[in-house]
Amino acid sequence: MKHEPVHQGRLKSPFYSRLERLDTVNEWHQWKGYSSADQLYCSDTEYFAIRNATGVFDLTPMTKYRITGPDALDYLNRLVTRDMAKIRPGRVAYAVWCDDNGQVIDDGTIFHLREGEYRLCSQERHFAWLKAAAIGFDVTITHETDDVAALAVQGPTSYSVLSKMNLEGLEELKPFGLMHFDFQGSELMISRTGFTGDLGYELWIDPDKAEALWDALFEAGELHGIRAIGTTALEMARIEAGYLAAYEEFLPADETVRTGVSRSPLELGLDWLVDFKKPNFNGRRALAEEKRNGSTWRLVKLDIEGNKEAHHSYIFSNAKARGGNIGFVTSAVWSPVCKQNIALGTVKTPHGKPGDTVWVEIYYQREMHWNRKMAKATVVDKPFWFPPRRGATPPGPY
């Protein structure tokens, strides 16, 4: 019997040939088995492409599952905390799913592609959990990460770029909506979703058409400042938008060993995603109890004085660090577009209410020597970057 050779080493996305052509720095990391670029030329330039023009990010390694079958809706409603009955075909839902203890396993987006046909996308892989959740349901779950090539096309000129690609009706597409188009005989799905908090789209297509789509996109975007971007730039935009990332703001609950290190949706500021009107969903009992008794942790967005990035800093309730720390920073960045020193963090309740002042202990190196600074920080309510154009339909031309 002949065996196919086992693939070793990193997978190359169907867009790899195009990324490789643009790459000048050869800085890659591994994302779920795929090579994914940290940056292609300069992460700062790439960042400004997102905020001022259009950044194109290869989303292919993003985990994708197709969920179909007569019980698909019941299945998803039991899986995630929000009410999926409200998500009609052609709509996308940001959702979070928990274990029985109400601890977050991951967050992601669920695309209602067609009546009763869904795609669930997340950063991490969850096949075992999704299969366990399918026991007793008439659903089929297909892992389709490798079967769908995907690009994030994000930034103020993203609509202008796409509008040159003969996509009829795209101007009507609202945030968290999706549409199907024809692209050279293949189906091109476009959703108005993204990870940057700005106007932006995600494009989903058959891997065979990936290169052709890339070429068409970059041809259309030539006069609109289109640029390929890597993860470093995207991460900056992600923090500005106040979005969560697994392994940053929370650990997938099924990966944790110790108790108390995972987070519930209530502790991540996702109360609005938890619909207690649903009679049953994973974690409901535990979350209802947490709601009654109060949460231990709270996610905070911090506006920090100065310009020293507060990576991994402890957070205190006072400048003298009396009483021990109340939490720590999970993601931090100097935001070029906001001109603010920003961070996401996790603090113990009752600390961290919007408007509260906390203190962040920042260590930074200057010519090898370490310095320590207690920086004052304000807990803010809104995302740092939330431009009106993000929600405008039809989007304006830039």
Partner 1 sequence: MTDKYDAIVVGAGHNGLVCSALLAKAGKNVLVLEANDQVGGAAVTREFADGYSVSACAHLLYQLQPEVRKELRLSPKLATEDMTTIALAEDGQHLRIKGDKVKGVSDDDARQYRRFRKRMTRFADLLRTYFNKPPPRLGTKNFKDLLTLAQLGFDIRRLGKEEMQEFLRLIGMNIHDEVTERFDSPLLKGAISLDAVLGTHLGPRSPNTIMTYLYRQAGDHGRASAPQGGMGAISDELAQAARAAGVTIRTSMPVKRIVVDNGRVSGVETESGETFSSYTVISNADPKRTVMNLVGAKHVETGFGRRIHHLRARGNAAKLHLALDGLPSIKGLDKKDFGQRIVIAGDEHYVERAFNPAKYGEFSPHPVVEMTFPSFRDESLAPTGKHVMSAVVQYAPYGLKEGWDDAAKEAFKQAVITTIARYAPDIEQRITASELLTPADIESEFHITGGHWHHAELTLDQFLFVRPVNGAAQYKLPIDGLFLCGAGAHPGGGVSGAAGRNAARTILRREKAL
Cα→Cα distances 71→77, 131, 205, Å: 10, 14, 26
**Which residues have CB under 8 Å from 116's CB, separation 6+?**
68, 69, 70, 72, 73
Minimal distance, residue 172 CB to partner 1, in Å: 35
* Residue (47 or 97) nearer to partner 1, CB: 97
Nearest to 356 by CA among 317, 311, 312, 395: 317
Residue with tokens 């070429």: 215
* Residue (81 or 331) nearer to partner 1, CB: 81
- Cβ-contact 90, 112 below 8 angstroms: yes
Minimal distance, residue 289 CB to partner 1, in Å: 12
**Which residues have CB under 8 Å from 194's CB, separation 6+?**
152, 154, 200, 201, 202
Return d(Cα 9, Cα 4) in angstroms, integer: 15
Footprint on this chain of partner 1 (rule: CB under 8 A): 71, 74-75, 78-79, 99-100, 129, 132-133, 135-137, 279-285
Minimal distance, residue 108 CB to partner 1, in Å: 16
* Residue (32 or 278) nearer to partner 1, CB: 278
* Residue (90 or 102) nearer to partner 1, CB: 102
Residue 365: both structure tokens together = 């190196």
* Residue (15 or 129) nearer to partner 1, CB: 129
**Helix 231-241 crosses helix 43-52 at what angle (to 10 degrees)?**
50
Minimal distance, residue 98 CB to partner 1, in Å: 9
Beta bridge partners of 347: 298, 327
Other beta carbons within 10 Å of 171: 12
* Residue (51 or 126) nearer to partner 1, CB: 126
Nearest to 110 by CA among 145, 57, 66, 148: 66
Minimal distance, residue 296 CB to partner 1, in Å: 16
Minimal distance, residue 18 CB to partner 1, in Å: 40
* Residue (105 or 332) nearer to partner 1, CB: 105
Minimal distance, residue 100 CB to partner 1, in Å: 4
